[in-house]
Structure 1
Amino acid sequence: MEHPVLTAIRRAAFTPLGWFAPSPDDKVPEGARFVILIGNAGPDMFRRFARERDPARETMDEWTRDTVAQLARDLEARAAYPFDTDPPWPFLTWARRGGAGHVSPLGLNIHPTYGLWHAYRAALLFPVAFDLPPPAAGPHPCERCAEKPCLAACPVSAFDGTRYDVAACAGHVGREAGRECMSRGCLARHACPVGQGFAYAPAQAEFHMRAFLAARQKA
């Protein structure tokens, strides 16, 4: 799908992950008539972040605020972030509203193209509606996946199809026994066959795992 706004988002190294014209039930900020969800899928966004900031010392959230704020100004939009409010904005609900996938057995959103290898960094809120047909999420890939290898791949069985044992996951990743998870990223994600071409490179995977552990320590 080509559109000047989508092209501008891609040029800024973000991926348009879904879009929709909201209704009152969608609980978007007041005045928004069109929502485009943006984030990472593949390496481009992380590469830009690593060029502009020191991943060993700075957070992606701060860089996201700065970068998306400028993009929003350029596109005459406002920005909402998944990490800026308590309670947070319902990004996963918005994602499914915008044709960006389904809920996987891991509880993560599974995108029809990017699988589990994507993340929402912001929503661009426009005061006017665009003539963009909504993306189609397509059939739920997990319903056709009989073996569900994602549920068996975690070394500490943090996923059982109904819940995520965050403490078990973080405890394992933070120990020497969890070195593979730290360096490669979540092994349950790697087990999913959808979107494997967008799996995080080691530097990106370890950055996100370290950020996950740091957030757990602050909680």
Structure 2
Amino acid sequence: MITTGAITSQASEHGLALRGVVAPEPDQTVPDWAQSIVLFGPDEPAFWEIFSASPEYSDGQADPLDRWSDRIAHSLAKDWGGAVLLPSAGPPYPPFLKWAVQSKHAWSSPVGPLVHAEAGLFISYRFAVALPQPLEAPAPAAKPCDSCAAPCTTSCPVGALGPDHMYDTASCKNYISSPEGVDCLQNGCLVRRACPVATNFLRLPEQSAFHMAAFLKN
């Protein structure tokens, strides 16, 4: 029987961390035999070195990170006797945000996007694996925002992300496409970087540039 420790260890070989375990509720995106859902996200900064050395990163084809995630997810799920759940697989789409909150390791932040107990505002979920057995979940974490001055609410130069929880993507894209927005474009979102939780979880500049370039294309 697979254990939480074994899953964590094997995922770390791919620069991934276990970001939550939940007991699934009835959902058409989840196999009816599933007893647990395990969420996975990048473990910075180890993740970028591993992903950027992958064939998907350098083959020139579209969506390299999604294709890498799909390959790794299926490899791990096969080893564990589980099924892969991808955020982009739909419609209907698996309820990743709901699962993240149910894990008691992620919450809605003062600016809207999820904040994670370890990854802060840099949290992302690459995939999940449905397992046919109950799995012990990590102990609930304390919500970091409860004792935070919330610098995220005042960090965006154009107010694209703020305390009103409305993400103005058009203003964001216009800003990071301008000379004034080069810091965000090359080093990542100032709001996410302002989160104190992410002090030891910052993405490398080349990784931030990769994600920002992908954001501009969408």
TM-score by structure 1 length?
Answer: 0.88
137, 143, 149: which is aligned to 2:146? 143
Q: Does 1:126 align with 2:135?
A: no
Q: Is the 8 A contact 2:36 2:133 kept in 1?
A: yes
Code of the residue aligned with 1:167 in structure 2: it is: A
Corresponding residue for residue 71 of structure 1: 76
Instruction: Tell me, in whole angstroms, the C-alpha distance in 2 between the residues paired with 1:2 and 1:79.
Output: 17
Q: Is the 8 A contact 1:20 1:134 kept in 2?
A: no
Code of the residue aligned with 2:104 in structure 1: it is: G
| Deviation by residue 1:173-212 (Cα, 9 ceiling, x = unmatched) | 1222211001110001111111210010101100010111
**SS state at 1:19 partner:** strand
Corresponding residue for residue 209 of structure 2: 206
**SS state at 1:32 partner:** coil
Give the CA deviation at 1:55: 5.4
Give the CA deviation at 1:27: 6.8
- How many corresponding residue pairs? 212
Instruction: Tell me, in whole angstroms, the C-alpha distance in 2 between the residues paired with 1:144 and 1:134.
Output: 22
Give the CA deviation at 1:86: 2.5
Corresponding residue for residue 191 of structure 2: 188
TM-score by structure 2 length?
Answer: 0.88
Give the CA deviation at 1:141: 2.2
112, 121, 142: which is aligned to 2:117? 112
14, 17, 41: which is aligned to 2:16? 14
Which 4+ runs in 1 deviate beyond 6 A? Answer: none
Corresponding residue for residue 165 of structure 1: 168
Give the CA deviation at 1:70: 1.1
Code of the residue aligned with 2:167 in structure 1: it is: Y
Corresponding residue for residue 103 of structure 1: 108
Structure 2 gaps, min length 5: none
Instruction: Tell me, in whole angstroms, the C-alpha distance in 2 between the residues paired with 1:186 and 1:36.
Output: 27
Instruction: Tell me, in whole angstroms, the C-alpha distance in 2 between the residues paired with 1:149 and 1:56.
Output: 39
| Deviation by residue 1:9-41 (Cα, 9 ceiling, x = unmatched) | 222321100102223379744321111100113
| Deviation by residue 1:92-132 (Cα, 9 ceiling, x = unmatched) | 110111122211022221111221122100011011212x1
**SS state at 2:197 partner:** coil
Corresponding residue for residue 155 of structure 1: 157
Structure 1 gaps, min length 5: none
Q: Quick one: structure 1 residues 87 and 172, their matched pair in 2 at CA, closer, same or farther if it must change by over 3 Å?
A: farther
